[in-house]
A and B are shown apart, each in its own frame.
Chain A
Amino acid sequence: DAGVTQSPTHLIKTRGQQVTLRCSPISGHKSVSWYQQVLGQGPQFIFQYYEKEERGRGNFPDRFSARQFPNYSSELNVNALLLGDSALYLCASSFEQLPYGYTFGSGTRLTVV
């Protein structure tokens, strides 16, 4: 069984640009959550989607948005990139809405220059 797949694995963007990150959950998982992990810190919650609806939102600015598609894959969009957005962006999938038994992907390393 394939795990959680994220693309791209690495990305370099210029300040002010926009970026889209993609996540495919484990087959059968209906929940996708996004986390930001700054180097040397624990992951910080950004969004959770379950059955294509937003079910949780972290303390991030409106420049961050996401959506979930009918096949349960998800995209995270970040507009007007800042240097401080440089981080590892992690996607986690789970069968249920609650954050039990998350499986994380390997993440997308975003560098903003």
Chain B
Amino acid sequence: QQQVKQSPQSLIVQKGGIPIINCAYENTAFDYFPWYQQFPGKGPALLIAIRPDVSEKKEGRFTISFNKSAKQFSLHIMDSQPGDSATYFCAASIRGGGNKLTFGTGTQLKVEL
């Protein structure tokens, strides 16, 4: 019940395309859903985050869509660029649930020219 399931494991898109990465969860007590971007040799960096009272949030080229009834959320990257090639992780946390993030298994994105 504490798991966050992420798909796909890897993704290749052309420059300008819109990659979509999906995550699903079971525990309805999760109340914070961030997305992280990680480049090789670096730690994860926070991209964007959403709470379950909002269905969509945009920050620059990054959009989170949240479907509370389906217990799913997704990351969309508009006008993707080769510099977006990285590993993306979804995560979730529970207020009062041990002060931790539970991460998905990651999606390796490659944006080709």
Q: Which residues of A contact B (CB under 8 A)?
A: 4, 31, 33, 40-45, 48, 50, 55-58, 90, 92, 97-107
Q: Is the CB of A101 within 8 A of B42?
A: no
Q: What is the minimal beta-carbon distance from B9 to any residue of chain A, in angstroms?
A: 9
Q: What is the minimal beta-carbon distance from A55 to any residue of chain B, in angstroms?
A: 5
Q: Is the CB of A104 within 8 A of B99?
A: no
What 0/1 pattern do residues 93 to 110 of B give for CB contact below 8 A with A?
Answer: 101001111111110000
Set of chain B residues within 8 Å of A43, measured between Cβ atoms? 44, 89, 101, 103
Q: Is the CB of B46 within 8 A of A103?
A: yes
Q: Is the CB of B99 within 8 A of A55?
A: yes
Q: Is the CB of B43 within 8 A of A99?
A: no
B83 sits at the interface (CB 8 A): no
Q: Is the CB of B102 within 8 A of A45?
A: yes
| Contact status of A102 and B101, CB under 8 A, knowing A40-B106, A90-B43 | yes
Q: Which of B6, B49, B100, B102 has the most CB of A within 10 A?
A: B100
Nearest CB in chain A to that of B106: its residue:
A42
Q: What is the minimal beta-carbon distance from A22 to any residue of chain B, in angstroms?
A: 15
Q: How far is the CA of A31 from the CA of B101 in the complex (A)?
A: 14
Set of chain B residues within 8 Å of A40, measured between Cβ atoms? 105-106
Q: How far is the CA of A48 from the CA of B36 in the complex (A)?
A: 19
Q: What is the minimal beta-carbon distance from B53 to any residue of chain A, in angstroms?
A: 15
What 0/1 pattern do residues 15 to 38 of B give for CB contact below 8 A with A?
Answer: 000000000000000001010100
Q: Is the CB of A42 within 8 A of B99?
A: no
